[in-house]
């Protein structure tokens, strides 16, 4: 019986019959051998959609309802079998959760059970499904199992022939470089997804962060290798969910599996981790870096809205959390609008020369001497001066942050030159640098050039960084740069100590001259014995490592007295002075110099009297 079935179908294939004719004949042959079975054959295209090609005993409206459905774990027996790549037996459609959304279709035509088997090609890819429908709840018989084995083999042959014939059409939906479904396939898949169930599916958009760097450094062949490796890793890590290459360095993953939907953030982290494994090639090693944004289908949302939401999330991630994942939330557009307004505001201020340094003095807690300043960025807004907190969101844009740093460095150098000419130069002026400032290693060129152009000795500048900057590069570039600057006479200050990663072991490798204790500890000094104990411990460690400690946020004399009592030499805060413009900073330097001169005079007189 099985031989005759096989011979009949192979004869059709040999004669060049199309897929519909071959599978229609196959279904009729099966139904003739097993009268209470209704047989159907579905194709699964490269975008993951099911396309009925034969089902002679099934109503046309039923087949049409299947047309274009995306495979998935809850899409009947055929959708589940294709999605998992495994046979699926639904012995009772009425009680099977996979069929819940389709009972209105199955009940009127008496379909009570279904056995679906995936058709696979030689590579193991699912290309179709053979389904046996039953009028009563039951599973397959031994005879039916033998028949299905033959059917799967014959259908695989017929589908491969059909694929060969439609090669040009198929190419239109595949990315030529990676073999992943392309943007056209992605758009088709997206339009066919069910949008009626909130959180029923989701979308991740992934961008490679370092493709341009690889192209510029190693050439486009290396860039193509990066894309190919990234595509392969993304597809493997995303399975059974489907990955697409949208073009360039852009990828997408449609999330349908319950595990992925249960925790999209963890899914994204897993995918990013999979991408971030080094690619070894000859003498070079490239580590793919990627950023992701995502969204789940919400109530009353369209697939296009989900795509736009994921796109917003990706944009936000690339601008504020590069290398990680951001999930869409309803306020993200407003947040981005505020950020863009802040960026435009800073760009206008830069163009109109309204960004300027304000200087907060650093005092010797014992002598009252001004030992230096911290230069803080301020924006002139008419009669008002805005603090950096008001335009902080603009600094998350790398280009804007770089422009602010360049402007601040230029203005600080001008002021330092003027103070040198007046004989008032402080020991140093601290200036904050972000991780973006260290990217590419240009600081070693820029800072010496600016200071030399204004005739300012290098030792007058202190580089202030936070722990997140030091650890944010994932390599030694920041520490190497800091060591180089220290070799040139610059000092390095670790700002906001205690609020970042706060691991004391980092002090063993960080080339630092000053530890700036965060204001949080200063605030708690009078109320918390724990805060005092931590500060005393830090002071002891700093002395052993030959680092000076500066307490930030000193606002009362009582705090200053307590800090002096535990051995903290320096302080900064409103008790002494807020951040002031250059004119007031000059006056503070004169007052400090006069104070030192008066003390020197008093000391000399005391010696003379003795």
Q: Are 14 and 148 part of one and the same domain?
A: yes
Total tally of structural domains belonging to the chain:
2
Residue 179 burial (C-beta neighbours within 10 Å; 0-12, 13-18, 19+)? middle
pLDDT tens digits for range 351-369: 999 999 999 999 999 888 8
CA distances from 334 to 292, 297, 344, 481, 553 (A): 20, 20, 15, 38, 32
**Minimum mean pLDDT among 61-65, 94-98, 182-186, 533-537: which range?**
533-537
- Residue 373: the pLDDT is 96
- Residue 278: the pLDDT is 84
Tell me: pLDDT of 447 over 80: yes
pLDDT tens digits for range 24-62: 999 999 999 999 999 999 999 988 999 999 999 999 999
Helix (H) or strand (E) holding 373, with range, is: strand 370-381
Q: Are 195 and 135 part of one and the same domain?
A: no
In a domain, 442, yes or no: no
In a domain, 107, yes or no: yes
pLDDT tens digits for range 136-159: 999 999 999 999 999 999 999 999
Q: Are 132 and 212 part of one and the same domain?
A: no
- Residue 10: the pLDDT is 84
Tell me: pLDDT of 379 over 90: yes
Tell me: pLDDT of 441 over 70: no
In a domain, 77, yes or no: yes
Q: Are 189 and 105 part of one and the same domain?
A: no
Helix (H) or strand (E) holding 58, with range, is: none
pTM as predicted: 0.58
Q: Are 119 and 201 part of one and the same domain?
A: no
pLDDT tens digits for range 570-585: 999 998 899 999 999 9
**Minimum mean pLDDT among 161-175, 209-223, 322-336, 458-472: which range?**
161-175
**Minimum mean pLDDT among 209-213, 414-418, 432-436, 601-605: which range?**
601-605
Q: Which of 302, 330, 358 is the last residue of a domain?
A: 330
Tell me: pLDDT of 488 over 80: yes
Beta pairing, strands 428-432 & 370-381: parallel
- Here the CATH number for the domain that contains residue 123 is 3.30.450.40
Q: How many residues does the chain have?
A: 610
Residue 323 burial (C-beta neighbours within 10 Å; 0-12, 13-18, 19+)? middle
Tell me: pLDDT of 174 over 80: yes
Please state, rounded to an integer, the average pLDDT across all residues of the chain.
89
User: What whole-number distance in Å separates Cα of residue 229 and Cα of residue 210?
Assistant: 13
CA distances from 484 to 191, 395, 455, 539 (A): 55, 26, 20, 26
Tell me: pLDDT of 168 over 70: no
In a domain, 195, yes or no: yes
Q: Which of 115, 136, 169 is the last residue of a domain?
A: 169
Phi, psi of 255 (to 5 degrees): -95, 120
Helix (H) or strand (E) holding 554, with range, is: none
User: What whole-number distance in Å separates Cα of residue 471 and Cα of residue 479?
Assistant: 9
- Here the CATH number for the domain that contains residue 202 is 3.30.70.270
Report whether 273 contacts 292 (CB < 8 A).
Answer: no
Q: Are 197 and 153 part of one and the same domain?
A: no
In a domain, 206, yes or no: yes
User: What whole-number distance in Å separates Cα of residue 122 and Cα of residue 336?
Assistant: 48
CA distances from 264 to 64, 271, 305 (A): 33, 10, 18
pLDDT tens digits for range 59-103: 999 999 999 999 999 999 999 999 999 999 999 999 999 999 999
Tell me: pLDDT of 113 over 80: yes
In a domain, 230, yes or no: yes
Q: How far is CA 184 from the centre of its chain?
A: 25
- Residue 294: the pLDDT is 95
pLDDT tier at 283, thresholds 50, 70, 90: low
Q: Are 57 and 189 part of one and the same domain?
A: no
H, E, C per residue of 381-430: ECCEEEEHHHHHHHHHCHHHHHHHHHHHHHHHHHHHHHHHHHCCCCCEEE
pLDDT tier at 554, thresholds 50, 70, 90: very high
The first and second tokens of residue 393, run together, are 């969101």
- For tokens 């008496």, name the residue: 110
pLDDT tens digits for range 285-312: 777 889 999 999 998 899 999 999 999 9
Residue 504 burial (C-beta neighbours within 10 Å; 0-12, 13-18, 19+)? exposed
In a domain, 143, yes or no: yes
Q: Are 221 and 315 part of one and the same domain?
A: yes
Q: Are 120 and 202 part of one and the same domain?
A: no
In sequence order, the 6+-apart residues with CB closer than 8 A to the CB of 340 are none
pLDDT tens digits for range 115-132: 999 999 988 999 999 999
Tell me: pLDDT of 610 over 90: no
Q: Are 66 and 165 part of one and the same domain?
A: yes
Quote the domain boundaries for residue 199. 183-330
Tell me: pLDDT of 397 over 80: no
Cα angle 476, 481, 485; round to 5 = 150
Span 401-423, average pLDDT: 94
Report whether 48 contacts 78 (CB < 8 A).
Answer: no
Q: Which of 281, 300, 330 is the last residue of a domain?
A: 330
In a domain, 62, yes or no: yes
Q: Are 194 and 136 part of one and the same domain?
A: no
Report whether 237 contacts 271 (CB < 8 A).
Answer: yes
Tell me: pLDDT of 254 over 80: yes
Q: Are 132 and 191 part of one and the same domain?
A: no
């Amino acid at each position: 019986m099985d031989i005759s079935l096989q011979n009949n179908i192979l004869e059709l294939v040999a004669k060049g019959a199309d897929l519909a004719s071959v599978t229609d004949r196959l279904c009729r042959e099966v139904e003739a051998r097993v009268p209470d079975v209704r047989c159907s054959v579905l194709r699964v295209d490269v975008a993951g959609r099911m396309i009925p090609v034969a089902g002679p005993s099934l109503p046309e409206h039923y087949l049409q309802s299947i047309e274009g459905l995306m495979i998935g774990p809850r899409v009947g027996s055929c959708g589940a079998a294709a999605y998992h790549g495994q046979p699926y037996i639904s012995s009772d459609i009425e009680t099977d959760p996979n069929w819940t959304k389709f009972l209105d279709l199955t009940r009127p035509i008496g379909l009570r059970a279904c056995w679906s088997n995936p058709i696979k090609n030689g590579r193991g890819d699912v290309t179709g499904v053979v389904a046996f429908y039953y009028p009563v709840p039951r599973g397959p018989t031994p005879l039916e199992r033998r028949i299905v084995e033959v059917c799967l083999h014959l259908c695989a042959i017929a589908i491969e022939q059909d694929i060969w014939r439609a090669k040009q059409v198929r190419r239109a939906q595949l990315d030529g470089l990676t073999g992943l479904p392309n943007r056209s396939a992605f758009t088709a898949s997206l339009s066919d997804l069910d949008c009626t169930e909130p959180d029923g599916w989701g979308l991740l958009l992934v961008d490679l962060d370092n493709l341009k760097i690889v192209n510029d450094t190693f050439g486009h062949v290396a860039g193509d290798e990066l894309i190919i490796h990234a595509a392969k890793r993304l597809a493997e890590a995303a399975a059974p969910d489907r990955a697409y290459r949208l073009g360039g360095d852009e990828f997408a993953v449609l999330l349908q599996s319950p595990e992925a939907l249960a925790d999209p953030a963890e899914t994204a982290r897993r995918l990013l981790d999979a991408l971030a494994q080094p690619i070894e090639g000859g003498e070079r090693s490239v580590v793919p870096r990627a950023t992701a944004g995502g969204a789940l289908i919400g109530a009353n949302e369209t697939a296009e809205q989900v795509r736009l939401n994921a796109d917003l999330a990706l944009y936000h991630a690339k601008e504020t959390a590069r290398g990680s994942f951001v999930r869409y939330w309803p306020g993200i557009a407003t947040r981005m609008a505020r950020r863009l307004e802040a960026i435009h505001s800073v760009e206008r201020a830069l163009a109109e020369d309204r960004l300027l340094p304000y200087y907060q003095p650093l005092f010797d807690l014992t002598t009252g001497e001004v030992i230096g300043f911290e230069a803080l960025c301020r924006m002139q807004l008419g009669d008002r001066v805005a603090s950096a907190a008001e335009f902080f969101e603009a600094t998350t844009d790398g280009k804007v942050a770089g422009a602010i740093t360049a402007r601040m460095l230029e203005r600080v150098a001008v002021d330092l030159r003027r103070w040198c000419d007046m004989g008032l130069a402080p020991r140093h002026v601290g200036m904050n640098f972000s991780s973006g400032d260290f990217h590419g290693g240009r600081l070693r060129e820029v800072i010496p050039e600016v200071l030399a152009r204004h005739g300012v000795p290098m030792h007058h500048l202190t580089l202030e960084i936070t722990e997140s900057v030091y650890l944010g590069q994932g390599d030694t570039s920041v520490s190497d740069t800091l060591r180089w600057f220290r070799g040139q006479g610059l000092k390095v200050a670790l700002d906001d100590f205690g609020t970042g990663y706060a691991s004391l072991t980092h002090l063993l490798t960080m080339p630092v001259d000053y530890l700036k204790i965060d204001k949080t500890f200063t605030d708690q000094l009078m109320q918390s014995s724990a805060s005092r104990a931590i500060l005393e411990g830090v002071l002891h460690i700093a002395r052993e490592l030959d680092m000076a400690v500066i307490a930030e946020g000193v606002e009362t004399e009582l705090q200053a007295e307590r800090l002096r009592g535990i051995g903290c030499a320096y302080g900064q805060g409103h008790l002494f002075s807020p951040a002031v413009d250059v004119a007031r900073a000059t006056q503070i330097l004169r007052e400090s110099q006069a104070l030192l001169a008066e003390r020197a005079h008093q000391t000399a007189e005391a010696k003379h009297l003795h």
